[in-house]
Amino acid sequence: MTDDFKLPDDCTDMRDVRTGVDATDRELMALLDRRFGYMRAAARIKQSRDTVRDEGRKAAVIAAAAGDARARSLPAEKIAEIWDLLVETSIAYELEEWDRLRS
Protein backbone atom coordinates (compact mmCIF):
# COMPACT_ATOMS: atom_id res chain seq x y z
CA MET A 1 0.00 0.00 0.00
CA THR A 2 1.12 3.52 -0.67
CA ASP A 3 1.25 6.34 1.83
CA ASP A 4 0.41 8.84 -0.91
CA PHE A 5 -2.98 10.11 0.11
CA LYS A 6 -5.06 13.24 -0.12
CA LEU A 7 -6.21 15.24 2.87
CA PRO A 8 -9.98 15.07 3.47
CA ASP A 9 -10.81 18.40 1.84
CA ASP A 10 -8.90 17.34 -1.29
CA CYS A 11 -10.71 14.02 -1.78
CA THR A 12 -12.81 13.82 -4.93
CA ASP A 13 -14.01 10.21 -4.83
CA MET A 14 -14.40 7.29 -2.44
CA ARG A 15 -11.08 5.79 -3.54
CA ASP A 16 -9.36 8.94 -2.23
CA VAL A 17 -11.33 8.69 1.02
CA ARG A 18 -10.52 5.01 1.55
CA THR A 19 -6.85 5.52 0.75
CA GLY A 20 -6.75 8.34 3.29
CA VAL A 21 -8.55 6.29 5.94
CA ASP A 22 -6.19 3.34 5.41
CA ALA A 23 -3.12 5.59 5.68
CA THR A 24 -4.53 7.21 8.80
CA ASP A 25 -5.17 3.80 10.36
CA ARG A 26 -1.52 2.86 9.76
CA GLU A 27 -0.45 6.12 11.42
CA LEU A 28 -2.74 5.41 14.38
CA MET A 29 -1.16 1.95 14.77
CA ALA A 30 2.30 3.51 14.80
CA LEU A 31 1.14 5.95 17.48
CA LEU A 32 -0.40 3.13 19.53
CA ASP A 33 2.86 1.22 19.24
CA ARG A 34 4.68 4.25 20.65
CA ARG A 35 2.08 4.72 23.41
CA PHE A 36 2.40 1.11 24.51
CA GLY A 37 6.17 1.55 24.44
CA TYR A 38 5.67 4.19 27.12
CA MET A 39 3.66 1.62 29.09
CA ARG A 40 6.64 -0.75 28.88
CA ALA A 41 8.89 2.06 30.07
CA ALA A 42 6.54 2.82 32.97
CA ALA A 43 6.49 -0.87 33.95
CA ARG A 44 10.29 -0.84 33.97
CA ILE A 45 10.55 2.40 35.96
CA LYS A 46 7.81 1.98 38.57
CA GLN A 47 9.10 0.26 41.68
CA SER A 48 5.70 -0.84 43.01
CA ARG A 49 2.97 -2.69 41.14
CA ASP A 50 0.45 -0.73 43.22
CA THR A 51 1.45 2.49 41.43
CA VAL A 52 0.47 1.19 37.98
CA ARG A 53 -3.19 2.14 38.41
CA ASP A 54 -3.61 5.87 39.05
CA GLU A 55 -7.27 6.86 38.90
CA GLY A 56 -6.46 10.58 39.05
CA ARG A 57 -4.14 10.32 36.07
CA LYS A 58 -6.70 8.19 34.20
CA ALA A 59 -9.41 10.81 34.74
CA ALA A 60 -7.09 13.61 33.63
CA VAL A 61 -6.08 11.79 30.43
CA ILE A 62 -9.71 11.07 29.52
CA ALA A 63 -10.80 14.62 30.31
CA ALA A 64 -7.97 16.01 28.17
CA ALA A 65 -8.98 13.80 25.24
CA ALA A 66 -12.63 14.83 25.58
CA GLY A 67 -11.67 18.50 25.78
CA ASP A 68 -9.44 18.19 22.72
CA ALA A 69 -12.26 16.42 20.89
CA ARG A 70 -14.70 19.21 21.78
CA ALA A 71 -12.24 21.83 20.52
CA ARG A 72 -12.06 19.94 17.22
CA SER A 73 -15.86 19.55 16.98
CA LEU A 74 -15.55 15.78 17.34
CA PRO A 75 -17.97 13.61 19.38
CA ALA A 76 -16.42 14.22 22.80
CA GLU A 77 -18.48 11.67 24.74
CA LYS A 78 -17.62 8.86 22.33
CA ILE A 79 -13.96 9.92 22.27
CA ALA A 80 -14.00 9.77 26.09
CA GLU A 81 -15.36 6.21 25.86
CA ILE A 82 -12.60 5.25 23.42
CA TRP A 83 -9.99 6.82 25.69
CA ASP A 84 -11.39 5.00 28.72
CA LEU A 85 -10.90 1.71 26.88
CA LEU A 86 -7.45 2.80 25.70
CA VAL A 87 -6.34 3.72 29.23
CA GLU A 88 -7.78 0.53 30.76
CA THR A 89 -6.05 -1.54 28.07
CA SER A 90 -2.82 0.36 28.72
CA ILE A 91 -3.07 -0.31 32.47
CA ALA A 92 -3.64 -4.03 31.86
CA TYR A 93 -0.68 -4.11 29.47
CA GLU A 94 1.54 -2.26 31.93
CA LEU A 95 0.59 -4.70 34.71
CA GLU A 96 1.47 -7.64 32.47
CA GLU A 97 4.79 -6.02 31.61
CA TRP A 98 5.50 -5.21 35.27
CA ASP A 99 4.92 -8.85 36.19
CA ARG A 100 6.93 -10.14 33.21
CA LEU A 101 9.92 -7.98 34.07
CA ARG A 102 9.97 -9.21 37.65
CA SER A 103 9.20 -12.90 37.18
- Give every residue of the chain whose pLDDT is below 70, as ranges: 1-2
Which CATH architecture group holds 12-102? Up-down Bundle (1.20)
The backbone region for 81, taken as left when phi is positive above 0, alpha when psi lies in -120 to 50, beta otherwise, is alpha
Q: Is the pTM of this model over 0.95?
A: no
Residues with Cβ within 8 Å of residue 67, at least 6 apart in sequence: 76
35 is in an annotated binding site: yes
What are the tens digits of pLDDT across the range 65-78? 999 999 999 999 99
The answer to the question of whether 18 is labelled as a binding residue is yes
| 27 annotated as a binding-site residue | no
Select from 26, 32, 34, 33 the least CA-distant residue to 82.
32
